[in-house]
A and B are shown apart, each in its own frame.
Chain A
């Protein structure tokens, strides 16, 4: 059951992520945003499989909720035209093809080599990312970073207000 769910959720996440960047039917930003919501939902499912229940909830609330609403607001505010395809021409095309093939080859080489020497263990631990133990850690050992992050959010809010004023002077 766990295995089947893992394969379903990861296949869904990968397919939806592919449709975000390379949708064959539409180059519309709204379609990409909708598929990004689905990707994030599948990732939340993977988090549940990993027993990180609090993070799965945060993922749905913050990413699929707040962040994606922000994205959709901006897309509709900007009234974008359909993205044009402007390819490279001439020697630039050849150089970029060769460089891309070369870097993919190098990466594949290292990936296969590291899988041969892989020593990743497979025993499942008994840890559970429920709200209570995570909160305990957050308010004892990680109290200072927690407070700093709250200041960061305040700074981001002020920055956004400043940036969206009519005249930036």
Chain B
């Protein structure tokens, strides 16, 4: 009998989410920040799948399916925005983008 329970998966998911958050906070390249966002989304997916598995309920997995679909749409739009921004400003470094700063 296996000893791995829901809490093990939740700890891995929390650590993964923290790593993604750290990436958004410390990296200054827009593309790498975007990848860190993907890591955070994946951490949430892992938590949902684990919860669905240990509660005998498939609804969580359907939710993960929708999250993956929305994430794909979000990546497409976000990368198009980054490309449009780069065309105008020639940079993907967040500290060079200060037009809206007061």
- Residues of A whose CB lies within 8 Å of any CB of B are 2-3, 6, 10, 13-14, 17-18, 20-22, 27, 29, 32-33, 36, 39-40, 43, 46-47, 50-52, 54-55, 58-59, 62-63, 66-67, 70-71, 74-75, 77-78, 80, 83-84, 86, 111, 115, 118, 120-127, 129, 133-134, 137-138, 142, 145, 149, 152-153, 155-157, 159-160, 163-164, 168
Q: In the complex the two chains form, is B46's CB within 8 Å of A43's CB? A: yes
User: Is B72's CB within 8 Å of the partner chain A?
Assistant: yes
The minimal Cβ–Cβ distance linking A135 to chain B, given in whole angstroms, is: 10
For B3, the chain A residues whose CB sits under 8 A away are 3, 122
The SS class assigned to the A binding surface is helix
B residues lining the A interface (CB < 8 Å):
2-10, 12, 14-16, 19-20, 22-23, 26-29, 31-32, 34-36, 38-39, 42, 45-46, 49-50, 52-59, 61-62, 64-66, 68-77, 79-84, 86, 92-93, 95
Set of chain A residues within 8 Å of B93, measured between Cβ atoms: 83-84
Partner of B46, one of A46, A54, A133, A157: A46
Roughly how many angstroms separate A2 CA and B53 CA in the complex, as a whole number?
15
Pairwise interchain contact A10-B12, C-beta atoms closer than 8 A? yes
Q: Is the CB of A20 within 8 A of B49?
A: no
Partner among B7, B38, B52, B79 whose Cβ is within 8 Å of the Cβ of A127: B52
Asked if residues A164 and B9 are in contact (CB atoms below 8 Å), the reply is no
Contact B61 A134 (CB under 8 A): yes
B81 touches A163 (CB 8 A): yes
Chain A proximity of B9: nearest CB distance (Å): 7
* Chain A residues whose CB sits within 8 angstroms of the CB of B61 once the complex forms: 52, 54-55, 129, 134
Q: Are A14 and B68 in contact (CB under 8 A)?
A: no
